[in-house]
Amino acid sequence: MTSTDQDAFDNTINDASFLQRIVELNLTDPRAQDRIIYPLSVICSIVILARICNCNDASEQRLFWLEKLPWLKESFYGLDDD
């Protein structure tokens, strides 16, 4: 990976974290706190990214999740291996 590619990757990660933070600040999580696996901000941010990539239904968004999981783990906090 060239330094330009690395810079672009770093900027993408920063943008993803920024998106997650915006979602986090604007949503209240109504779910039962003891049953949460992933923070609502992570789920909403990933759905937004999937929609931007033309994944318009739940099955396409799930495939996006599975295909991009290594990158998503680097980009979003709260997306740990449990």
* Per-residue pLDDT tens over the stretch 17-73: 788 888 888 888 888 989 988 888 888 988 998 998 899 999 999 999 999 999 888
- As to burial, measured by CB atoms within 10 angstroms (0-12 exposed, 13-18 middle, 19+ buried), residue 5 is exposed
Q: How far is CA 70 from CA 6, 25, 74, in A?
A: 16, 25, 7
- Is the pLDDT confidence value at 1 over 70? no
* Per-residue pLDDT tens over the stretch 9-25: 466 667 777 888 888 88
